[in-house]
Structure 1
């Protein structure tokens, strides 16, 4: 999984403008500034200022609660953990993780500094402000790949944690490709908490059984199934792109299915152009798939779209396997009983990776305590506590499959047997943040305009601007 490194940094002001602009479908390029843009590929409707206000309000409430518990906590050292895990199974996983860590480290009190917002855009805006102000959290959630390497590592804001891997003998406990995703110039900069599969089609089993359908494995099969569902008055494909990253997420799975792993990866090295016939064929598939989505897609977020499938208002939803966590943990649905799944069209044997990581920012007050937390999340105990609730699978190869439901066990097996692992574009692992920002804007304009030539030109310009 190759990700081109860029040593470009971006100013805080442009980061905040880009984060806000992505949510309003008028993003700007951010590659010529001085602080990393960590666009998570999602909408920030209210902009970074509102995100900071929301975070301040949350922190005020947390501070009041902490003051109430001050006497009980005594002299416990505080460790701030910054993330965007605030719902849909992820909060349950995070809270269980915090409880397990505090039980193992009773002298440490964890401050949960989670900031709400789809796929982390609000959180990234607040994080950028804090990092620029030399006020880093103890540790923060970051996607492996470009978000980490061409962002905060390139900006010289992270400490390497290679020594932890050596001390804990982890080099054979995580997949080599995964370690490569969090490595720059021979140094490892984060610990993977999990692995998500991005290229999954979830479907309502009752609807498929009622209409005598099987999960589509190719584009042609998808169109046949979607046509039958549409004729029967069922919405074939649920999309919720009120948060703009979901359209880009759908498109990246189409690109992977149409181009294959090598062609898909060639887009992020510049070896395949966006004005090529190969990419145009992928765009044709995306354009056709949009014929089957719900009319109110722009008013829904990803959870709303997943809920449409859960409640039988739509048949399919293409999403990462955090949707499986939402189905099982939040909605109480049974895998292979209430919902089914399959790789997205033409991606059998391919596994698109989204991995959540934590690292050690430079300048924190308690680096040894942060390292204790990083050591903890790299254990099988921590990974098998968090991931079954989140819907993800463990990053460690020796975790216990029996801790996972049928969906999790199936995904662990697919990961181990995958012909190829590829990084996610929408979640900032495949390409630099500047490209993701421009692509996010261009794809969401296309969903409304369906102007293929305009999208091709926009993506080609983004490639020229951001990928060497």
Structure 2
């Protein structure tokens, strides 16, 4: 879940408006003896808020000496939250902890010297044994680990309104892009205004990524982010053409929509499909909508595009000991169960009991163990925030001008500019 960069003036303006809520811990949060722990997230609604509430409840039991202070800033994908956070970090006013996507996205904070090494805590809390090696490898930078993951999400999931599909004569899940296009035509011919619900920038990057996984395969897709696959290739151009065709079936006001607005089109029967991460399951459940279906994006096969929400210890945090208690709770079996059963994600730990989870999470837990894993740029596991911002800007332009060549050039330029050092 990503963001679009604003001007510095806009960032400061948003920060000023939201600072009382985000910084409301007061004098009693200062120093290692303070009680308040300000937890900065973008989990303010639906299944995300329900998951946070479950984690907060566990924190209250595990860390009775500390008080949770909610620093959440609303806005899908952290659009507003990341702007406010950047301003606070620059001003030397960090929250006690903040949410960040695990993977390449953390490199920005590491390079800026804004977060602390947690390697010692990993050993102390048994996380080096509880988390899978592949995830630990992704979290490790120059031999150090800087965040504690609360979950694993799957990004490449196609959601649907089963009643809308049935009325259009669609009786099976599409297994290829051609089958998806055929189904979208059926929806359009049945009178569905927006067969495919789409939101703005980062949600379009998610959709493009899923198409590229199909057209390139998992190995070449991963190569887009590590430099081994050329963004200027003919196979990438085909992927962008397929993406352009998918947008032709979407709502015309997509660039004004957050992911939940697109989701509402599906809930209201005004759309048949939406590509979104599996936090959508918990959000739909929290909103009481049960008539939904889900499948891996057509052509992605046994590929699991992953992302992980995680928490860090900022340098200069007012209450580092309280933060460590929060981080220990986030990484604990109890904390991950309380969080993930409500948020729609699966635990990062390997000792979870699948039977404790709703139907969708059980399928995701099984797939995580066997599927080919690829990262997500839209959600920070594959690329830096700089690349995300460049990609989102390019996609915003493409949404209007539909120029395949220009989008391909822009993505290639972003990859070169923000290449991993």
Same fold (TM over 0.5): yes
1:316 paired residue number: 273
Quick check: 1:127 aligned with 2:89? no
Q: 2:249 aligns with which of 288, 292, 295?
A: 292
Q: 1:54 aligns with which of 10, 17, 41?
A: 17
State the distance in 1 between where 2:252 and 2:83 align: 31
SS in 2 for 1:85: coil
Once the two structures are TM-superposed, the CA of residue 225 in structure 1 deviates from its matched residue by 1.0
1:222 paired residue number: 180
Q: 1:432 aligns with which of 384, 403, 409?
A: 384
State the distance in 1 between where 2:22 and 2:231 align: 44
SS in 1 for 2:281: helix
What aligned pairs does 1:424-463 form with structure 2 within 5 A after superposition? Answer: 424-463=376-415
1:306 paired residue number: 263
Contact 1:147/1:429 (CA < 8 Å) preserved in 2?
A: yes
1:279 paired residue number: 236
State the distance in 1 between where 2:166 and 2:75 align: 35
Contact 1:44/1:122 (CA < 8 Å) preserved in 2?
A: no
Q: 1:346 aligns with which of 299, 323, 330?
A: 299
Cα deviations by residue, 1:329-357 (Å, 9 ceiling, x for unpaired): 1x1133xxx11100112112111112100
Unaligned runs of 5+ in 2: none
1:375 paired residue number: 328
Quick check: 1:108 aligned with 2:61? no
Contact 1:42/1:120 (CA < 8 Å) preserved in 2?
A: no
Once the two structures are TM-superposed, the CA of residue 59 in structure 1 deviates from its matched residue by 4.3
1:413 paired residue number: 366
State the distance in 2 between where 1:447 and 1:200 align: 22
Once the two structures are TM-superposed, the CA of residue 237 in structure 1 deviates from its matched residue by 0.5
SS in 2 for 1:201: strand
Quick check: 1:392 aligned with 2:345? yes
Residues 240/44 of structure 1: CA separation in 2 closer, same or farther (3 Å cut):
farther
Once the two structures are TM-superposed, the CA of residue 190 in structure 1 deviates from its matched residue by 0.9
Contact 1:384/1:400 (CA < 8 Å) preserved in 2?
A: no
Once the two structures are TM-superposed, the CA of residue 364 in structure 1 deviates from its matched residue by 2.2
Contact 1:41/1:428 (CA < 8 Å) preserved in 2?
A: no
State the distance in 2 between where 1:260 and 1:464 align: 22
State the distance in 2 between where 1:51 and 1:351 align: 36
Once the two structures are TM-superposed, the CA of residue 42 in structure 1 deviates from its matched residue by 4.5
1:24 paired residue number: none
Residues 47/325 of structure 1: CA separation in 2 closer, same or farther (3 Å cut):
farther
State the distance in 1 between where 2:360 and 2:239 align: 29
1:364 paired residue number: 317
2:103 paired residue number: 145
Contact 2:22/2:73 (CA < 8 Å) preserved in 1?
A: no
State the distance in 2 between where 1:358 and 1:215 align: 36
Residues 369/389 of structure 1: CA separation in 2 closer, same or farther (3 Å cut):
same
Once the two structures are TM-superposed, the CA of residue 57 in structure 1 deviates from its matched residue by 4.3
Unaligned runs of 5+ in 1: 1-38
- TM-score relative to the length of structure 2: 0.93
Once the two structures are TM-superposed, the CA of residue 317 in structure 1 deviates from its matched residue by 0.4
State the distance in 1 between where 2:104 and 2:245 align: 30
What aligned pairs does 1:233-248 form with structure 2 within 5 A after superposition? Answer: 233-234=191-192, 235-241=194-200, 244-248=201-205
SS in 2 for 1:416: helix
State the distance in 1 between where 2:179 and 2:36 align: 54
Over aligned residues, Cα RMSD in angstroms? 2.1
Cα deviations by residue, 1:223-242 (Å, 9 ceiling, x for unpaired): 1111111111123211122x
- TM-score relative to the length of structure 1: 0.84
State the distance in 1 between where 2:87 and 2:121 align: 28
Q: 2:288 aligns with which of 305, 329, 332?
A: 332
Cα deviations by residue, 1:263-284 (Å, 9 ceiling, x for unpaired): 1111112222221111111111
What aligned pairs does 1:175-194 form with structure 2 within 5 A after superposition? Answer: 175-194=132-151
Cα deviations by residue, 1:298-327 (Å, 9 ceiling, x for unpaired): 332211111111221111000011111210
State the distance in 1 between where 2:274 and 2:10 align: 28
Contact 2:139/2:147 (CA < 8 Å) preserved in 1?
A: yes
Once the two structures are TM-superposed, the CA of residue 254 in structure 1 deviates from its matched residue by 1.1
Residues 227/415 of structure 1: CA separation in 2 closer, same or farther (3 Å cut):
same
Contact 2:12/2:87 (CA < 8 Å) preserved in 1?
A: no
Residues 361/59 of structure 1: CA separation in 2 closer, same or farther (3 Å cut):
closer
